Amino acid sequence: MNIYLELNKIIEYIENHLEEKIDYKELAKMIGINEYTFQKIFSIMCNITLTEYIRNRRLSNAGQELYLNNEKIIDIALRYQYENATSFSRAFEKFHGIKPSNVKKNPEKLKIYTKLYFREINEQAKKVEYMIIEREQMTLYGKYKNTNNAKIKNLAPKFYKEMAEKYGEPLYGMIEYKDKGRRFVKAYWIMYDKKMNDLETKKIPKSKWIMIRIKSQKTEEIQEASDMFYQDFLPISKYHFRDIPELEYYHDDITDFLIPIEN
């Protein structure tokens, strides 16, 4: 038995039953062990207890739904297996650091806890933290190269180095897409916050963004975070993405990967 593949099946089962009561004994039966052993294995392999994991996933989803929809708090509380609005609000505030009633006013406080995933090569996928931020309209200056999904991983670091040598260390990278489905890369930009020589001007509209913070500016780690976002987070996200470019913000030896979302 490949325990990593079996855990993925259980994670998927949990994901499909977050709005229902989840029987831990049934989860244990899925891999042929008793409940105690299963919870022990889950805690060791996932670095979180089963109860905490399910609670975090429910509260993460609840936060998105409170922000996106106009539902009553009690309805969402009951959906995610809380007995009343009081117990839900207490757990929600402990997890997100904000009361459910204040979500519409302060969505940047929301935490997003993604579902776990184990790779078949017997290693757990790296955990990446997500948060929501809002930025005013930005005016940036830069140049771009046309590219596509297959070429961008090789093109991006070479273009970055080329621009850095000519204009100094870039502040932003930007990815434009051909369609609203965000599947086909069109162009990759290197950008600055001040006008220089023959740089083109681009206005980035005011928006809310999902931000992934990477404590690195290495190309391979930025690309890995991007891949994880689309493979692990996007399939379970309730957010709607805006048809404007994505940004990579380079500062203080870190990279903020910014994906625009609708209000």
118 and 190, same domain (yes or no): no
Query: Which residue, 125, 146, 166, sits at the end of a domain?
Result: 125
Whether residue 139 sits in one domain with residue 244: yes
Closest CA to 256 of 216, 227, 228: 216
- Give CA–CA dist 13/262, Å, rounded: 29
Which region holds residue 252: left if phi is over 0, alpha if psi is between -120 and 50, else beta? Answer: left
Q: Distance between CA atoms of 189 and 177, rounded to whole angstroms?
A: 12
Distance between CA atoms of residues 178 and 76, nearest Å: 37
Name the DSSP letter for residue 240.
Answer: -
Residue ending a domain, among 105, 125, 145, is: 125
| pLDDT the model gives residue 126 | 52
Mean pLDDT is lowest, of 114-128, 130-144, 207-221, for: 114-128
With bands split at pLDDT 50, 70 and 90, how would you rate the model's confidence at 128?
A: low
pLDDT in tens, 44-80: 788 889 999 999 999 999 999 999 999 999 999 999 9
Locate 48 and state its tokens. Answer: 């979180």
**182-212 residue pLDDT tens:** 456 789 999 999 999 899 999 999 999 989 8
| Structural domain count, the chain | 2
Q: Do 7 and 113 lie in a common domain?
A: yes
Q: Which of 159-163, 222-226, 232-236, 253-257 has the highest mean pLDDT?
A: 159-163
- Domain encompassing residue 214: 132-261
Q: Looking at the structure, do residues 49 and 94 belong to the same domain, yes or no?
A: yes
Q: State whether 167 and 107 are in the same domain.
A: no
- Considering the domain architecture, whether residues 96 and 148 belong to the same structural domain is answered as no
> Each residue of 148-163: pLDDT tens digit?
877 888 899 999 999 9
Quick one: 34 and 136 in the same domain?
no
| Pair 163, 115 in one domain | no
Q: Token pair of 39, please?
A: 């919870």
93 pLDDT more than 60:
yes
Sign for the pseudo-dihedral over CA of 114, 54, 77, 16:
positive
Q: Are residues 119 and 136 in the same domain?
A: no
Residues 138, 216 within the same domain: yes
User: Within 13 Å and on the Cβ side, how many CA atoms surround 61?
Assistant: 18
Same domain, 28 and 139: no
Q: For the domain that residue 62 is a member of, what is the CATH number?
A: 1.10.10.60
For residues 205 and 245, is the Cβ–Cβ distance under 8 A? no
Quick check: 229 pLDDT over 90?
A: no
d(CA 230, CA 53): 21
CATH code for the domain of 160 = 3.20.80.10
Segment 95-111 shows an average pLDDT of 93
Helices in the chain by DSSP H: which ranges? 3-16, 24-29, 35-46, 50-68, 73-79, 85-96, 152-167, 219-228
Please tell me whether residues 27 and 107 are part of one structural domain: yes
Residue 110 confidence (pLDDT) above 50: yes
- pLDDT score for 120: 60
DSSP string, 101-169: GGTTT-GGG-EE-PPP-EETTTEEPPP--EEEEEE--EEEEEEEEE--TTTHHHHHHHHHHHHHHHH-S
Between these two residues, 251 and 178, which has the higher pLDDT value? 251
End-of-domain residue from the set 125, 148, 166: 125
Place of tokens 């207490």: 90
Q: Are strands 207-214 and 254-261 parallel, antiparallel or unpaired?
A: antiparallel
Between 38 and 141, name the one with better pLDDT. 141
